[in-house]
Amino acid sequence: MNRPEFMESTMTNWKRPLEVLQKAMIMKKNMLAKGIVAARAKCPYCEGFWHGRLCGHKKHLHMSCDGDCKSMMME
């Protein structure tokens, strides 16, 4: 039932995946430099914050925005 809305938000977010990826990679770099596994950064697209987390031995970055833009990235 929620599928059309889900599709729509996916389409909206699809316009900027590269930019999100680049910003997320900068976030990861900073986290690695500081030796931390969780960080928060102001979202450039909405009023929310990005929550980044490094997971596993390979330190994959999982990032999601808690605001309206619903940006997310999993490396």
Stretch that binds Zn ion, among 9-17, 22-30, 32-40, 41-49 (CB under 5 A): 41-49
**CA-closest candidate to residue 31, choices 63, 4, 65:** 63
Neighbours of 65 (CB within 10 A): 23
Considering only 5-13, 20-28, 33-41, 59-67, which stretch makes contact with Zn ion by CB under 5 A?
59-67
Q: Which of 45, 64, 72, 75 binds Zn ion (CB under 5 A)?
A: 45
Q: Is residue 16 packed enough to be buried (19+ CB in 10 Å), middle (13-18) or exposed (0-12)?
A: middle
20 binds Zn ion (CB under 5 A): no
The binding site for Zn ion (CB under 5 A) comprises 43, 45-46, 48, 65, 67, 69
